[in-house]
Amino acid sequence: MGFESMAGVSAEHGHGIGYLIESIAAKLPPAPPLSGGIENQRTKIAFIGRPNVGKSSLCNRLLDMERLIVSDVPGTTRETVELDLDYKTEGASEPWRFRLFDTAGLKRKNRIDSSLDYFSAVRTKHAIDEVDVVFLVLDAREGVTKQDKILAGHALDSGRALSILVNKWDLALESFRKDPLPGYEDEKDFRKSYLSSIRKELFFLPDSPISFVSAQTGFAMEDFLQVARDLDARMNKSISTSALNKLIAEMWEHRPPAKVGGKRFKVFYAVQVENRPFRVKLFCNREEKLNDQYKRYLEKGIQKRFGLSGCPLKFSLAGKEARYTEEKE
């Protein structure tokens, strides 16, 4: 027929679409480099958390100066503060470049007693949308609270990479040494149990990395900066279409979804359509048959297989009805 190559596909069932997309991608030229070179780009980090958990103290420790007001009075930071950090590490030819966003703490709704508190909370949500990596800062002495879960939900909805910092860990250990809690063999066992408790409370997060740190002593500060770099790089990943569809088929065979109205949710074809945030489009039989439980099952499986811990995953669904509408238009 005069064509160099042909592909047999089925729009209704998704057959052959993966081969078609990969064939097109193979013929596309490489993406142009970013202006200024990737080495000059700063990883943007936001520290979010309740008032007085140590967000400003963490920034100050990194910057090695008191540029932010640090106080034991909750709510000292009202504005989102942006600061550039060039962090020099041993053996590295270039410093690690970051832009730090120190945000106002989120108060309970019944404690937002001024318009300034309200707009500070709004700015915090805007800051989350502007950065590459979000660090949810917890107070080690208090554990996970309802406000922490709300903030984690905001970060998750934004699609930004997310990690957890357990600050004031030195104080928690000091308390444990003075009065060891029953049921723990040692500090290592205490830390392991604490980590497990956080995972349980924040089960809806994408297996986000957890770091135990101390802004007061500087403990493990460089470690979480490395986490930020790793998460930022992870958000640029591209998932092979064939590998993605193979995994989803395996997961369906291992644990098929429950029937709804006598029929099961079925994915005919899947493809990554976006990153930052990661978005996977699922061509399926009926969108309404995908419940939250099975959605989390697919999310966790994809994140684990492709090394996307800490990277939220969003699904776009295209059921048969939607595809019929698109074809008619």
Answer whether residue 267 is part of any domain: yes
Q: Is 75:51 a contact under the CB 8 Å cutoff?
A: yes
Residues 50, 137, single domain; the answer is: yes
Kindly state whether residues 198 and 92 are assigned to the same domain.
Answer: yes
108 domain-assigned: yes
Work out how many domains the chain is built from and give that number: 2
Instruction: Please give the chain's pLDDT, 329 residues, in tens.
Output: 666 677 776 665 556 665 665 666 566 555 444 344 444 589 999 999 988 899 989 988 988 754 444 434 444 444 567 888 888 888 888 889 899 988 754 444 444 344 334 334 556 677 788 899 999 999 999 999 998 998 899 889 999 999 999 999 999 999 999 888 888 889 999 999 999 999 999 999 999 999 999 999 999 999 999 999 999 999 999 999 999 999 999 999 999 999 888 888 999 999 999 988 899 999 998 888 889 999 999 999 999 999 999 999 999 998 865 444 444 43
Range of the domain at 163: 39-234
Residue 269: which CATH number?
Answer: 3.30.300.20
Q: For residue 281, what are the β-bridge partners?
A: 271, 316
Q: Which among 184, 207, 234 is the end of a domain?
A: 234
CA distances from 274 to 51, 123, 139, 280 (A): 34, 26, 34, 7
CA distances from 133 to 45, 96, 136, 150, 162 (A): 5, 14, 10, 17, 6
In a domain, 15, yes or no: no
Residue whose tokens read 């979804």: 257
Q: Which of 234, 259, 282 is the last residue of a domain?
A: 234
Type and span of the H or E element at 116: helix 115-130
Q: Can you give the pLDDT at residue 26?
A: 60
Same domain, 200 and 273: no
Evaluated on CA atoms 5, 267, 320, 156, the torsion sign reads negative
* Residues 241, 276 within the same domain: yes
Question: Does residue 20 lie in a domain region?
Answer: no
Tell me if 313 is assigned to some domain.
yes
The residue from 234, 251, 279 where one domain ends is 234
Residues 251 and 230 in one domain: no
Q: Are residues 192 and 274 in the same domain?
A: no
Q: What local confidence, expressed as pLDDT, does residue 269 receive?
A: 93
139 and 225 co-located in one domain: yes
3-state class (DSSP) for residue 171: helix
Torsion angle of C-alpha atoms 91, 92, 97, 101, degrees rounded to 10? -20
Q: Quote the radius of gyration of the chain (alpha carbons, Å).
A: 23
Do 214 and 280 lie in one domain? The reply is no
Say whether both 87 and 215 belong to one domain: yes
- pLDDT score of 3: 64
Question: What's the whole-number average pLDDT of the chain?
Answer: 81
| Claim to verify: residue 207 and residue 323 sit in the same structural domain | no
CATH number at residue 139: 3.40.50.300
Q: Are residues 242 and 165 in the same domain?
A: no
